[in-house]
Amino acid sequence: GENVEQHPSTLSVQEGDSAVIKCTYSDSASNYFPWYKQELGKRPQLIIDIRSNVGEKKDQRIAVTLNKTAKHFSLHITETQPEDSAVYFCAASTGGSNYKLTFGKGTLLTVNP
């Protein structure tokens, strides 16, 4: 089955700096890659996703890049703010009739004021 590795497990940045979280996946058939943000004690919430037919997607301060050849994808957050502090999860899916996601273990991002 699919295996998703996520790095780093913790990341601390100063407010205004950029943050990058990287994930690799094992199944070359994977074609959908969402990113979720989970604040302490809350539910995971989708912040951005990318499909295999594009290499990059942006939404204001966040962007995701995908390299299908190398089987890795990354989340980029620019101009970080204290409210960006949370756990971020990447995931991958091959789609199909039994569509399900495989998640990475998460990255705890701390943005220091």
Partner 1 sequence: NAGVTQTPKFQVLKTGQSMTLQCAQDMNHNSMYWYRQDPGMGLRLIYYSASEGTTDKGEVPNGYNVSRLNKREFSLRLESAAPSQTSVYFCASGQGSHSNQPQHFGDGTRLSIL
Nearer Cβ to partner 1, position 26 or 81?
A: 26
What's the rounded Cα separation, in Å, for the pair 71 and 78?
23
Minimum CB–partner distance for residue 96 and partner 1 (Å): 6
Minimum CB–partner distance for residue 75 and partner 1 (Å): 15
What's the rounded Cα separation, in Å, for the pair 77 and 50?
15
Residue written as tokens 């100063």?
Answer: 14
Identity at 95, one-letter amino acid code: G
Residues that bind partner 1 (CB under 8 A): 1, 6, 9, 31-32, 34, 42-46, 49, 51, 89, 93, 95-106
Minimum CB–partner distance for residue 71 and partner 1 (Å): 17
Nearer Cβ to partner 1, position 46 or 112?
A: 46
What's the rounded Cα separation, in Å, for the pair 19 and 67?
18
